[in-house]
Chain A
């Protein structure tokens, strides 16, 4: 018992100091805040990317934006580029223009048609050309030209329509009135010399005939170019039956004659010749209700009376054959067939409809973008040049105008992830090709080749780097003496910090050209180096203990390294010899035997050989991935408690058994993390792939060709994509896919890792 005067212990000695408490609480919140902030940031990035991609999946928005009472039911309707002033044509000399801006109407008369008896006509939206045929067997045409005029003080503007007449030609073949016409024109303002043609049907029934008038812009003696006829060809004898419809492609290279028995004859024009190429039968003997060429001129859309709708495209059955039509897809049926048809001049969408139905469709994906039942019967319709408006004439004498908002018709889940039969292709496939040379290019937005490319690149990178990195980590953690380890680890870390653009540069301009002619050497090295090490190991084990004890534990690498180099060098030297034995290619023309792997591979496997291939990518990505995996795996292995390794060694386990039975299981979750981080590095790696992977989005596992990965594709194409375009948003979608790909993999891996850790945890 301490006396009253004894020094009392501090009564506060059991209390925790205020500072400690405060600091503790602060740190608790700080860490919590940090963690939550990271999660929010990641989710935020995800949502930002996803937000850009979401509009891709909206369907078309089509809304009525005005109507004008016309009082007539016109068979032909045309419109200016902006959908402001459609015109109606009923087969006379008169054109009626309806102004949707101020609701006024205006009439124009074609002077040359004053007293003519028009028996057939057709309108071509691409050139705004109306072609007509007369009772006396002549054909002619005129262009409708809209000119924008401005007020003097430039405060307002209006459209001034005009008619430009073109020459009239007499059809030489056949007799009777012209019963069908179609105009094809390859010329453009820059090159007016392009060929043109007019397909004409004359007469009906037994006496019906079809002929082609071939035209050319030719310079006359006086100087100005003039449209002249260069010949006429009678096609009648080559037809499958009496023609019901004639169609010339807008570029004038192709003629389709639909006969009344349902056959379609396809003729191709080659300068002065018109040759029959093919006859095909879309709806089993039934005459299609509607046959029209789609924008781009290699596809036709056909609709039968009962509403089946198909797309036929020109493609080659095999690499040698000529291009013929074949059915590439069927659209969802249109309940009442298609009386109305008009295709967009911007993309592959078209409008079709009949009997109350109107439908906006996109041919590439076969998607219905918009479909509606209207309270009138559409009889004619057209999409304006900018694909922003739809003008539809109804049987009620009213012209309806619709505002079309469909910025991304090319986008759909099927286009991104499904097989699509593109125009000119030999079948449905996954394809990525976002931009093309011409305006009528059909974009191909399948993400599958990119996903495949990402996985392929990762696969080859990991195939090479996982064994190397893990074996190196095991060797360093369990075998190497500390003094050597102290040098190796920082070296690996320097390797990890090499900028990947340097690696990519090396891969593309040094490794790829070197490896191209040394594939057999590389194969031999891959085989011989590990084998030589195994061989040394075997021999070493056979040596008497006295000799083996000469080398301290962990010093064996001094022995192994020279042998490895020796065999690596031998492999390199012997490669061409092996090439001469196994990889002999027979030149098909001369029959010569040449030892060349780059030629042998395509001949033997039918797969391509490219200089910038997966082997190169695998090696170089290995350089980026190996240090990552090595460092983390080495740490995990080194952190296995010494008491465990010592215990197993004391029980007579050799070093390899210590590694295998004790260190690997205990470190397995750490090693797994290392692999996952390596995987993440490989999937997201961009620069090496941009520079060394060739960049072709192919879907082949072939190790000797390249790939295009999601990440590389974004890096290459995003700077060129117009902001807000389908291409731009699709690139964001591919980023979302990449994001999901890695997070799904990481989540799976984390679950597995936790299991491993649970199973092998120490106390």
Chain B
């Protein structure tokens, strides 16, 4: 983005303002109001079905692809609204990468999966592609496992490997913001650790929003944590403070595992 942010990280890099969201008649998000700071990792936690994925998917307008959705309120990215009339959704999505809750590689080779975002952007120079593939796969802790079969089908990989491939794919074009929806749900502890390391390295350049059901993970790698419950933002604050000293009863109940 602009040069000013490089010097001073914005505390309200992503600003969700009184955000309400409906799937058809069904309201899923209620008056969400939160500021996500630049170059930090923000974790979204909450019980299943509380609207974490929905909130995340609204940050790059992925929900536009679904018929019959509506919203009220606003989400601002670095000061400009996502819904501004002069926002081009395609370039917005290039700035805001996303890793989905369910891994979904394309029916292409590993290599082509990783460079997909470059290809659709019309960048097809061989050396740049090769470089990107190696960097992204290394960042996603997958390089050593696949470097000898880059041109094999992505479906030949295990579930966890496919998820890491999706992460590599999402970071190939080096987006400003990375939205990760339970990226480690299908991974073994070692790979999880690698992804967490990746998140820690990436946050130097990027702003990361991560959805997780894993409290340890949230404590380990996030700077701030938001607790959502039934579509409402119950509590939002410093990770250490939220876990160590939750202000709300629901938060405390959730993090101590009394309901899920």
Which of B68, B107, B169 is within 8 Å of A651, CB to CB?
B169
Q: In the docked arrangement, what's the CA distance between A650 and B65, Å?
A: 10
**CB proximity to B under 8 Å, residues A635-659:** 641-654, 657
Judged by a CB distance under 8 angstroms, whether B111 is at the interface is no
Question: Does A649 contact B62, Cβ atoms closer than 8 Å?
Answer: yes
Task: State A641–B107 Cα separation when bound (angstroms).
Answer: 11
Partner pick for B120 among A553, A651, A665, A761, CB 8 A cutoff: A651
Q: Are B107 and A760 in contact (CB under 8 A)?
A: yes
Nearest residue (CB) in B for A759 is B107
- Interface residues, chain A, with chain B CB atoms under 8 Å away: 481-483, 544-546, 549-550, 553, 641-654, 657, 661-662, 665-666, 759-763
Instruction: Considering the complex, give the chain B residue whose CB is closest to the CB of A642.
Output: B65
Residues of A with C-beta under 8 A to B86: 544-546, 549
Is there contact, CB below 8 Å, between A652 and B104? no
Q: A545, A644, A661, A759: which contacts B104 (Cβ < 8 A)?
A: A644
Distance between Cα atoms of A762 and B105 in the complex (Å)? 9
Of B90-98, B136-144, B235-243, the one with at least 4 CB within 8 A of chain A:
B90-98
Q: Cβ of A647 and Cβ of B90 under 8 Å apart? A: no
B62 touches A650 (CB 8 A): yes
With a cutoff of 8 Å between Cβ atoms, the chain B residues found around residue A760 in the complex are 107
Listed from nearest, the 4 A-B pairs whose CB atoms lie closest are A652-B94, A643-B104, A651-B117, A653-B120
CA distance A505 to B191 in the complex (A): 69
Query: A residues within 8 A CB of B120?
Result: 648, 651-654, 657, 661
Indicate if B170 sits at the interface (CB-CB under 8 A).
yes
A553 close to B107 (CB less than 8 A): no
Q: Which residues of B are found within 8 Å of A645, using beta-carbon distances?
A: 65
Contact B88 A649 (CB under 8 A): no
CB atoms of A652 and B100 under 8 A apart: no
Shortest C-beta distance, B108 to chain A (Å), equals: 8
Q: Shortest Cβ distance from A478 into chain B, in angstroms?
A: 11
Q: How far is the CB of B206 from chain A (nearest CB, A)?
A: 15
B18 CB-CB contact with A under 8 Å: no
Interface flag for B166 (CB, 8 Å) = yes
B residues with a Cβ closer than 8 A to A are: 60, 62, 64-65, 67-68, 85-88, 90-91, 93-94, 97-98, 100, 102, 104, 106-107, 116-117, 119-121, 155, 166, 169-170, 173
* A324 to B91 alpha-carbon distance, docked (Å): 80
Q: Are B173 and A651 in contact (CB under 8 A)?
A: yes
- Minimal Cβ-Cβ distance residue in B for A651: B117
Residues of A within 8 A of B67 (CB): 481-483
Given the known inter-chain contacts A644-B104, A647-B100, please indicate yes or no for A549 contacting B155, CB distance below 8 A. Answer: no
Among the listed B91, B93, B155, B173, which residue makes an inter-chain contact with A649, where contact means beta carbons less than 8 Å apart?
B93
> Looking across the interface, which residue of chain B has its beta carbon closest to that of A548?
B88
Q: Contact: B85 with A646, CB < 8 Å?
A: no
CA distance A60 to B35 in the complex (A): 97
Residue on A nearest B122 in the bound complex, by CB: A657
- Please give the distance in Å from B100's CB to the nearest CB on chain A: 6
In the complex, are the beta carbons of A549 and B87 less than 8 A apart? yes
Measured between beta carbons, the chain A residues less than 8 angstroms from B100 are: 643, 646-647, 650
Option from A482, A483, A647, A649 in Cβ contact (under 8 Å) with B106? A647
A151 to chain B, nearest CB (A): 89
Closest to A652 in B: B94
**B107 lies within 8 A of A761 (CB):** yes
B3 → A minimal CB distance (Å): 23
- Is the beta-carbon distance between B121 and A647 smaller than 8 angstroms? no
Chain B residue contacts of A550, Cβ below 8 A: 85
Instruction: Report the separation of the CA atoms of residues A666 and B169 in the bound assembly, to the nearest whole angstrom.
Output: 19
Contact A762-B62, Cβ < 8 Å, known A648-B120, A652-B90: no
How distant is the Cα of A114 from the Cα of B62 in the complex, in angstroms?
116
Tell me which residues across on chain A come within 8 A of B85, comparing CB atoms: 545-546, 549-550
Majority secondary structure of chain A interface residues (helix, strand, loop or mixed): helix
B53 to chain A, nearest CB (A): 12
Query: Which residues of A are found within 8 Å of B94, using beta-carbon distances?
Result: 651-652
- CA of A481 to CA of B60 in the docked complex: distance in angstroms? 20
**Nearest CB on A from B209, distance (A):** 14
**B51 CB to nearest A CB, Å:** 18
Q: Are B98 and A648 closer than 8 Å at their CB atoms? A: no
Closest to A654 in B: B90
Chain B residues whose C-beta falls within 8 Å of the C-beta of A648 in the assembled complex: 106, 116, 120
A698 to B70, CA, bound (A): 62
**Distance (Å) between the CB of B186 and the closest chain A CB?**
14
Closest chain B residue, CB of each to CB of A763: B155
Q: Is the CB of B107 within 8 A of A649?
A: no
Q: Within the assembled complex, what's the spacing in Å between the Cα atoms of A650 and B169? A: 10
Q: Which residues of A contact B121 (CB under 8 A)?
A: 652
Task: With both chains docked as a complex, state the minimum distance between the C-beta of A542 and any C-beta of chain B, in angstroms.
Answer: 13
Q: Once the chains are docked, how many angstroms separate the CA of A661 from the CA of B124?
A: 15
Tell me whether B91 and A643 are in contact (CB under 8 A): no
Tell me how far the C-beta of A477 lies from the nearest C-beta in chain B, rounded to whole angstroms.
Answer: 13
A549 cross-chain contacts in B, Cβ below 8 A: 85-87
Chain B minimum-CB-distance residue to A760: B107
Please tell me if the beta carbons of B104 and A666 are within 8 angstroms of each other in the complex: no
Q: Which residue of B93, B94, B98, B120 has the most chain A CB atoms within 10 A of its CB atom?
A: B120
Alpha-carbon separation in the docked complex, A666 to B104 (Å)? 13
User: With A and B bound together, what is the CA distance between A550 and B83 in angstroms?
Assistant: 11
Q: Specify which chain A residues have a CB less than 8 angstroms from the CB of B170 in the assembled complex.
A: 650-651
The residues of A that contact B87 with a CB separation of less than 8 Å are 545, 549
Task: Kindly report which residue of chain B lies nearest to residue A655, judged by CB atoms.
Answer: B90
Chain A residue contacts of B106, Cβ below 8 A: 644, 647-648, 661-662
Expressed in whole angstroms, the Cα–Cα distance for A665 and B170 within the complex equals: 21
Q: CA of A644 to CA of B102 in the docked complex: distance in angstroms? A: 11
Question: How far does the Cβ of A656 sit from chain B's closest Cβ, in whole Å?
Answer: 10
Residues of A within 8 A of B117 (CB): 651-653
A665 & B91 in contact (Cβ 8 Å cutoff): no
What chain B residues lie within 8 Å of A653 (beta carbons)? 90, 116-117, 120
Knowing A549-B85, A650-B60 are in contact, say whether A643-B102 is a contact too (CB < 8 A): yes
* A644 to B119 CA separation, bound complex (whole angstroms): 16
Inside 8 A of B65's CB, which chain A residues have their CB?
Answer: 642, 645-646, 649
Shortest distance from the beta carbon of B75 to any chain A beta carbon, whole Å = 16
Which residues of A sit under 8 angstroms from B102, Cβ to Cβ? 643
Compute how far the CA of A672 lies from the CA of B227 in the bound complex, rounded to whole angstroms. 49
Closest to A552 in B: B64
Residues of B within 8 A of A763 (CB): 155
Query: How far, in angstroms, from A647 to B117 measured CA to CA in the complex?
Result: 10
- 10 further contact pairs, Cβ within 8 A, besides A651-B94, A651-B170: A545-B86, A549-B87, A642-B65, A643-B100, A647-B166, A648-B106, A650-B97, A652-B117, A759-B107, A763-B155
Closest to A665 in B: B107
**B98 surroundings in chain A (CB, below 8 A):** 650
Q: How far, in whole Å, are A643 and B107 apart by their CA atoms in the complex?
A: 12
- How distant is A555 from chain B, measured CB to nearest CB, in Å? 13
Residue of B nearest to A762 (CB): B107
**Bound Cα distance from A712 to B214, whole angstroms:** 70
Chain B residues with CB under 8 Å of A654's CB are: 90, 120
Contact: A651 with B93, CB < 8 Å?
yes
Contacts A/B (CB < 8 Å), 28 sampled: A483-B67, A546-B86, A549-B87, A550-B85, A553-B64, A643-B100, A644-B104, A646-B65, A646-B100, A647-B104, A648-B106, A648-B116, A649-B62, A649-B93, A650-B170, A651-B93, A651-B94, A651-B117, A651-B170, A652-B90, A652-B91, A652-B93, A653-B90, A653-B120, A654-B90, A654-B120, A760-B107, A763-B155
- Set of chain A residues within 8 Å of B116, measured between Cβ atoms: 648, 651, 653, 661
> Which B residues touch A666, using CB under 8 A?
107
A641 adjacent to B173 (CB under 8 Å): no
Looking at the assembled complex, report how far the CB atom of B164 sits from the nearest CB atom of chain A, in whole angstroms.
15
- List residues of chain A with CB within 8 A of the CB of B64: 553
Point out the residue from A641, A642, A643, A661 that lies within 8 Å of B119, measured CB to CB: A661
Q: Determine which of B62, B107, B155 lies in contact with A646 in the assembled complex, contact meaning CB atoms within 8 Å.
A: B62
Cβ A762 vs Cβ B93 within 8 A: no
Least CB distance, A648 to chain B, in whole angstroms: 7
Output the least CB separation between B81 and chain A (Å). 12
**Cα distance, A545 to B67, chains bound together (Å):** 22
Separation of A83 and B28 alpha carbons in the complex (Å): 99
- A642 to B67 Cα, complex, angstroms: 12
